[in-house]
Amino acid sequence: MAVINLPSLHGGQLAIIKNATRWNHVCCGRRWGKTYMLARLTVESVLRGEYVGIFCPQYKFLTEIYREIYDILSPMKLESSKTEGVIRAPTKGRVDFWSLENEACGRGRKYHRVLIDEAAFAKNGTMTPIWERAIMPTLVDYKGDCFVFSTPNGISEDNWFYQIAQDPMWRKFTAPSSTNPFLPVDELKRIEEMTHPLVFRQEFLAEFISWSGEVFFGIDKLLVDGQPVADDFRIHGSIFACVDTAVKSGQDHDSTAIVYFGKQPGYLYEDRQARIFVLDWHLEQIDGNMLLDFVPSIMKRLDELAIRHNSPVGAKGIFIEDKVSGTVLLQNLAAQGAPAWPIDSKLTQMGKSERALASSPYIARDLVKLTDCAYSKTMNVKGSTRNHLLTQLASFRIGDKEGARRADDLVDSFCYGTIIGVGSTTGF
């Protein structure tokens, strides 16, 4: 007889199982171990010969849990298909894997247990009808139970995971990352110190956070003792620019935004972590087909900054969004052999809020600073004379429903440069 080794659970996970009811809402922090718990619940059901339905927002989320469950059950002779999303065991138990991208997921099936993973990241507005019309009916035949797992994703009346947290039908369990005894306490403390406070509360304390009205980029974090960095220092690394290209021109549309950065190598610092400095910025209202003519002025400014900061590496070049007018610009620059590169698609495909969140750890760790030039500069754009970089950073809000109407081109360029400059080579 095959020997199946069930995943070991820590006390926090076991307490939830012990106190579970039919409808269970598990709000957990990062690295709490929800995949292991989900696998344990699945395998226990399969060994009893039961049917389990696992639902995730996207197919890519299913890969890890599919492999985890398959590996645990592999001592048995299984019938399985990753393509079809099914594992059948000789106990007569079966696991079906469904993407919530399919609004008919689960229809026609019946389950003893339903497990929904990363529920907070299902597309807003779609989960309620999917739950009511497709998933919940699968539990009728066997009076099955349901566990819904996720890290929170803000407070939104359109978010199903948040909605059911307010519904008395569901038993609520909050599972902060710290309740996983296998996570080093000092490591969590380190993460807390280098992470935006609201991000830490959401991602690790498993709290529902309202981002509405919260200033995300505190200008003070970009200064040193309340002041910008003087411009009379040497940049030992490269000078580069990030460009957020405008789609259209005209008073009511975006501008092309350029932010200039200088990178200091990590070997200059005790913690061996590179730093970047915002050296300058510029906004230009320009048609997409005129961008190519504007590039020489960007390269000229990069050379000026390289000389000003005595950089031995010099001007590296320009990172440009590879979409809309930026794609055409990159193609033309490549043909000319100009030093221009597309910004990694992993970054450009993110939403504005996601990019801001991705850049926040570096700012929290004091790796990004403003120079006096970038801090003191003003220019007239669309009839308004001000420091547009500071204004846009100070007014940026995560998940702002009015964000599409707000000027934030420089914020995008700032986030791109932050992640490229002090993140990994892939932009993270």
pLDDT in tens, 49-97: 999 999 999 887 888 899 999 999 988 888 888 888 899 999 999 999 9
Amino acid found at 8: S
Take residue 171 and report the two structure tokens written for it.
Answer: 């038993």
Torsion angle of alpha carbons 131, 135, 136, 140, nearest 10°? 170
Report CA-CA distances (Å) from 347 to 64, 123, 238, 320, 412: 23, 20, 21, 11, 10
Main-chain dihedrals φ then ψ at residue 277, nearest 5 degrees = -125, 130
What does the alpha-carbon distance between residue 57 and residue 128 come to, in Å, rounded to a whole number?
13
H/E stretch holding 329 reads helix 325-336
What does the alpha-carbon distance between residue 289 and residue 258 come to, in Å, rounded to a whole number?
17
Q: What are the tens digits of pLDDT across the range 180-222?
A: 999 999 999 988 887 888 889 999 999 998 776 566 788 888 9
Report pLDDT for 400. 62
pLDDT, greater one: 352 or 301: 301
Torsion angle of alpha carbons 211, 259, 389, 355, nearest 10°? 0
Report pLDDT for 252. 47
What does the alpha-carbon distance between residue 274 and residue 24 come to, in Å, rounded to a whole number?
44
Contact present, 152 and 161 (Cβ < 8 Å): yes
What beta strand segments (E) does 199-264 contain? 238-244, 256-264
Report pLDDT for 15. 93
Pairing between β-strand 145-150 and β-strand 113-116 as defined by DSSP bridges: parallel
Q: Is residue 426 over pLDDT 50?
A: no
Q: What are the tens digits of pLDDT across the range 271-294?
A: 899 999 999 999 987 655 566 777
Contact present, 23 and 146 (Cβ < 8 Å): yes
Q: What are the tens digits of pLDDT across the range 38-49?
A: 999 999 999 999
Contact present, 323 and 298 (Cβ < 8 Å): no
pLDDT, greater one: 360 or 111: 111
**pLDDT > 70 fraction of the chain, expressed in percent and rounded:** 90
* β-sheet bridge partners, residue 232: none
Choice among 21-25, 66-70, 345-349 with the minimum mean pLDDT? 345-349
Q: Is residue 5 over pLDDT 80?
A: yes
Q: What are the tens digits of pLDDT across the range 356-410?
A: 888 888 998 889 999 999 999 999 888 788 999 999 998 888 766 555 556 788 9
Q: Is residue 425 over pLDDT 90?
A: no
What does the alpha-carbon distance between residue 409 and residue 245 come to, in Å, rounded to a whole number?
8
Average pLDDT along the chain: 87
Q: Give just the sign of the alpha carbon dihedral 41, 46, 50, 55.
A: positive
Residues contacting 298, CB < 8 A, separation 6+: 241, 243, 258, 318
Q: Give just the sign of the alpha carbon dihedral 418, 423, 424, 427.
A: negative
Report pLDDT for 213. 59
Take residue 51 and report the two structure tokens written for it.
Answer: 């049917």
Pairing between β-strand 379-381 and β-strand 340-342 as defined by DSSP bridges: unpaired
Each residue of 388-397: b (16+ CB within 10 Å) or e? bbbebbebbb
Report pLDDT for 251. 41
Torsion angle of alpha carbons 120, 122, 126, 131, nearest 10°? -70
Report pLDDT for 227. 94
Q: Is residue 152 over pLDDT 70?
A: yes
Main-chain dihedrals φ then ψ at residue 263, nearest 5 degrees = -110, 130
Which alpha helices (DSSP H) does 194-324 contain, by range?
Answer: 197-203, 291-308
Which alpha helices (DSSP H) does 142-230 contain, by range?
Answer: 160-165, 185-193, 197-203
422 CA to centre of own chain: 16
Report pLDDT for 90. 93
352 CA to centre of own chain: 10
User: pTM of the predicted model, to two decimals?
Assistant: 0.68
**pLDDT > 90 fraction of the chain, expressed in percent and rounded:** 52
Report pLDDT for 18. 94
The band of 21, judged by pLDDT with boundaries at 50, 70 and 90, is very high
Torsion angle of alpha carbons 136, 137, 143, 148, nearest 10°? -20
Report pLDDT for 250. 41
Q: Is residue 428 over pLDDT 50?
A: no
Report pLDDT for 91. 93
Report pLDDT for 291. 67
Report pLDDT for 334. 73
pLDDT, greater one: 19 or 64: 19
382 CA to centre of own chain: 32
Residue of 175, 123, 113 whose CA lies nearest to 149: 175
Residue of 24, 27, 362 whose CA lies nearest to 177: 27
Residue of 396, 425, 428, 416 whose CA lies nearest to 321: 416
3-class DSSP assignment, residue 236: coil
